[in-house]
Chain A
């Protein structure tokens, strides 16, 4: 997968003012003529909302449209936005991990869920559900496949991040 040196080289000779906090990180690497402050700022505002929405899709997916795959794609779109607006630097700031990590974690989680069922005496990937009463929020129903779906979510996010790094960032040079 991509190594740690992807896009870490600072841009050629343009000094970054160390005194002022970088409000639009990653922007330092962009060509000043071609960068759009409006786009960068908007993306900063929207980014977290999109991520939260992706999580909503993940959790709501069992009863309403959504699910791990769709949620992962939405989260991936959020990172795509960051990358388009802010370039490699912004992407790196948004997710400072190697894309292999979410992919591996996701696969492990999904397969692990299946194995847990096996250990508990069920069939591989057999699901279970339990309803809790939470004091303020009311009734909460948890289904074990949520963990599986989270695995799917992580793999998809990792895939999109990997594509951004390889076909996006790596191709910039």
Chain B
């Protein structure tokens, strides 16, 4: 299993280079990855459906207890049929869909393969953390895929929206996973499902996980990203939005429902969100003119139904859900790919402009119509069987079940109506519309559409082929449930479900026939409901974040160094200072000095410090500061720390020299101007900070409760570190990691200074302001730095 993921990764890495040479034929190469996976899954199917899941575990980060724990069971197999099976066909379709010379196809193929790999990993992962990793990988790769046309602002916005919404949900889900793993004592998914934890934080964890699933599967109110994502190339829509990415949330819910649907919060949330999504999606789909957007809203609607069926937690509904998962993958991929073909052949996707396409491309029209009929739930197609099963699951119940049934029925009527609208819009010959000019379609585009469309028919006529796959998932509700469960069949006899199916189709047809009045009604309703628009809410939220960021930046970043310093220092005095006063005391047992020379040096340091603060000329102040530093170094020597003293001397010297360099460019005297902070305030802050530091040192020096770490360092220095200078051994050995971090900071600082100074200088030379003093030291250059690209520095 791991090998399959590695294969995806390798082909993804190779694709950009191959794509540069092969052009669009690179898709034929990368299609090997999903094809191999699908073939492997087929060989394992018999064992898996017999109730013997295939597993593999590879150590990953043993220190954190992370393993690459993969497991193929019936549900994973079903998902693999979608991810890798349909994936292979989509990849092949790509090899003929894109224009021959299109730039960036190699990169695109690489990301698409990486996405397929991430999705495969997601459905195979048996570890919560691993699921999260793959989950976010699909988010990132789908961001790149949706934003493939990166010169188009709409496309970039769509990509960003998808990323922000799904990544936000993903983070919530991670928190949920962590809570769940903590409650269960293990992160292994199969172990958690066998023995699900209860009580405590579990409901919270489930709500967080559901939030992740809802964002990923485009449930209300997070659904707008999915229609926006139609900016992506059509094969991406077919794959991400039919077979793969949006099914991730549904998959997760399907995984957890057998164990957690009994938890109090689960059912109300899943049912409310799912049913709302189903109805709203169907309603919105009905009024779209762009075929792709119509299908996108249709997907939203179907995802809502899937969420309900797989989340409600009864074996009957699970049976219907698993069947719908398969049939939706098949018919939606067919439909998206045929929209791509129509777009390819005519150059438009607007159903108001298309006319007579069905007559010119009969094969395409036949395949797409079959898929649409399957979506509408017309016998004898697979979609009909799954819809029958869905009705069966709820129609016989009472109370809540009937309410759910009513919503499912309403959603199905809408589905039937927009399916009809799709077929009519894409292929019908409309009066008063000039027939579209249709180019011939290559076989490479037609073949995947026909194969997928035909699959829906074959599985509809022979439901026994898909039945084991679906029953395998139902078995996760326990063997009793599996034994009692209905089997998928085309004919269940004359029963309530059949009646309702017929009613659905009739109502759908009526809704389609009355499309003009319905359209007017929708327009009027939009006028009333227009204010409640999730997409606009997303935009408003984003603008709100931007505006808050601007305002808070303007508030915090005033550009005044005294204010910055003052803020830091006042915080220091107020928070730790108060704590110090409240909790600590100093015993009177303090020695003034160890050697008589110490107070002498201390007085010199104090005098130099006061002089530095009082100096009028910058140079004088710097020299006095230097004196303070050297004085401290002398104190280190007296205290017996030669290493420290040596370093202090050298740093002080270099600092002095650098100060002098900068001073050449500054006015001689400090500027006398009304200060932001008055003298008294600054004096007060300084004294308070001085007092705090003194107090803190006195308290700290008496606060020792455990033996000093330094003794252990002294003991181990020579034996383990191989050196007798314990300071150096600490630096390079015991605390080597710290030192590595510190020199990294040094390197970053060096680069930062260079960019600041050189960028500031460049700006001055561009303005011809050779006489202006260089302002890098003022801190003002920071503001302008953003405008100058680092590469542009000479």
Q: Does A155 contact B (CB under 8 A)?
A: yes
A99 to B770, CA, bound (A): 26
Cβ contact within 8 Å between B753 and A68: no
B757 x A152 contact (CB < 8 A): no
User: Across the interface, which residues of B come within 8 angstroms of A162, CB to CB?
Assistant: 750-751, 753-754
A66 at the interface (CB under 8 A from B): yes
* From A5, A114, A168, A170, contact of B740 by CB (8 A): A114
Question: In the complex, which residues 683-726 of chain B have their Cβ closer than 8 Å to any Cβ of chain A?
Answer: 720-725
Across the interface, do A152 and B721 meet the contact criterion of CB distance under 8 Å?
A: no
* Given A70-B646, A73-B651, A129-B722: A171 and B746 interface contact (C-beta under 8 Å): no
Q: Are A171 and B747 in contact (CB under 8 A)?
A: no
Closest to B657 in A: A80
Q: How far is the CB of A146 from chain B (nearest CB, A)?
A: 8
B723 & A62 in contact (Cβ 8 Å cutoff) = yes
A61 within 8 A of B: yes
Is the beta-carbon distance between A159 and B750 smaller than 8 angstroms?
yes
User: What 0/1 readout, one digit per residue, does chain B (747-784) give for beta carbons within 8 Å of chain A?
Assistant: 10111011001100100000000100010100000000
A1, A111, A148, A160: the one within 8 Å of B754 (CB): A1
In the complex, the answer to whether B732 meets A148 with C-beta atoms within 8 Å is yes
Which of A1, A61, A76, A159 lies in contact with B725, CB distance below 8 A? A61
B789 interface residue (CB < 8 Å to A): no
**Complex CA–CA separation, A104 to B743 (angstroms):** 10
Q: Which of A152, A166, A171 contacts B739 (CB 8 A)?
A: A152
> CA–CA, A127 to B650, complex, Å?
28
Q: How far is the CA of A1 from the CA of B731 in the complex (A)?
A: 28
B65 on the A face (CB < 8 A)? no
Q: Are B725 and A67 in contact (CB under 8 A)?
A: yes
Q: Is A86 an interface residue (CB 8 A)?
A: no
Q: CB distance B650 to A107 under 8 Å? A: no
**A125 and B662 contacting across the interface, CB-CB below 8 Å:** no
| Set B653, B733, B753: member contacting A167, Cβ < 8 A | B753
Which among A67, A125, A170 is the interface contact of B757 at CB below 8 angstroms? Answer: A170
The answer to the question of A43 belonging to the interface, with a C-beta cut-off of 8 Å to chain B, is no
Interface membership of A55, Cβ < 8 A: no
Asked if A110 is at the interface of the complex by the 8 Å CB criterion, the answer is yes
- Tell me the smallest distance from the CB of A44 to a CB of chain B, in Å: 19
Alpha-carbon distance A84/B651, docked complex (angstroms): 17
Chain B residue with minimal CB distance to A76? B654
Given contacts A61-B728, A62-B725, A152-B732, A166 and B754 within 8 Å (CB-CB): yes
Q: How far is the CB of A166 from chain B (nearest CB, A)?
A: 4
Residues on A with beta carbons closer than 8 Å to the beta carbon of B657: 80, 84
> Which listed residue, A64, A77, A151, A170, touches B654 by the CB 8 Å rule?
A77
Docked Cα-Cα span, A143 to B744, in Å, equals 22
Q: How many A-B residue pairs have CB under 8 A?
A: 157
Of A5, A65, A165, which one neighbours B794 at CB under 8 angstroms?
Answer: A5
Partner of B737, one of A5, A77, A124: A124
Residues of A within 8 A of B662 (CB): 167, 171
Given the complex of chains A and B, what is the CA–CA distance between A1 and B753 in angstroms?
9
Would you call A143 and B722 a contact (CB within 8 A)? yes
Q: Is the CB of B736 within 8 A of A125?
A: yes
A30 within 8 Å of B (CB atoms):
no
Q: Report Cα–Cα, A152/B753, bound state, in Å.
A: 19
* Dominant SS among interface residues on chain B: helix
B740 and A66 form a contact (CB under 8 A): no
User: B656-669: contact bitstring with A at CB < 8 Å (1 yes, 0 no)?
Assistant: 01100110110000
The CA of A124 and the CA of B63, in the complex, are separated in Å by: 14
Report A-chain residues with C-beta under 8 Å of the C-beta of B58.
Answer: none
Q: Give a binary string over A24-55; 1 marks a CB under 8 Å from any B CB, 0 the rest.
A: 00000000000000000000000000000000
Q: Does A87 count as interface, using CB distance less than 8 angstroms?
A: no
Q: A125-155 CB contact bits vs B (8 Å, 1 = yes)? A: 1010100000000000101010011011001
Q: Nearest CB to that of B731 among chain A residues?
A: A67
Instruction: Check A163/B750 contact, CB under 8 A, given A65-B642, A152-B732, A170-B758.
Output: yes
A90 contacts partner chain B, Cβ-Cβ < 8 Å:
no
Residues of A near B109 (CB, < 8 A) are: none
How many residues of chain A have a CB within 8 Å of chain B?
Answer: 54
A170 vs B754: C-alpha distance when bound (angstroms): 10
Given known contacts A106-B743, A107-B743, is B722 in contact with A160 (CB within 8 Å)? no
A contact residues around B740 at 8 Å (CB): 110-111, 114, 125, 148
User: Does A3 touch B at the CB level, under 8 Å?
Assistant: yes
User: What chain A residues lie within 8 Å of B793 (beta carbons)?
Assistant: 3
Contact between chains at A166 and B724 (CB < 8 Å) = no
Residues of B within 8 A of A91 (CB): none
A144 to chain B, nearest CB (A): 9
Q: Which residue of B lies closest to A67 (CB)?
A: B728
B632 part of interface (Cβ distance < 8 Å): no
Shortest CB distance A148–B (Å): 5
Using a CB-CB cutoff of 8 Å, which residues 4-19 of chain A contact chain B? 5
Contact present for B661 and A62 (CB under 8 Å): no
| Chain A residues near B744 (CB-CB < 8 A) | 107
Inter-subunit contact A155/B736 (CB<8 Å): no
Chain A residues, Cβ within 8 Å of B751: 1, 100, 103, 162
Contact yes or no, B722 A141, CB < 8 A: yes
Q: Does chain A have a CB within 8 A of B400?
A: no
Beyond known contacts A66-B728, A124-B737: 14 more, CB 8 A cutoff: A61-B725, A62-B724, A62-B728, A73-B651, A76-B650, A80-B657, A106-B747, A125-B736, A129-B722, A143-B721, A152-B732, A166-B758, A171-B664, A171-B665
A-B contact list, 5 entries, CB within 8 Å: A67-B732, A84-B657, A127-B720, A155-B743, A159-B746
Please list the residues of chain B having a beta carbon within 8 angstroms of any beta carbon in chain A. 642-643, 646-647, 650-651, 653-654, 657-658, 661-662, 664-665, 720-725, 727-729, 731-733, 736-737, 739-740, 743-744, 746-747, 749-751, 753-754, 757-758, 761, 770, 774, 776, 793-794
B-binding residues in A (CB < 8 A): 1-3, 5, 61-70, 73-74, 76-77, 80, 84, 99-100, 103-104, 106-107, 110-111, 114, 124-125, 127, 129, 141, 143, 145, 148-149, 151-152, 155-156, 158-160, 162-163, 165-168, 170-171, 173
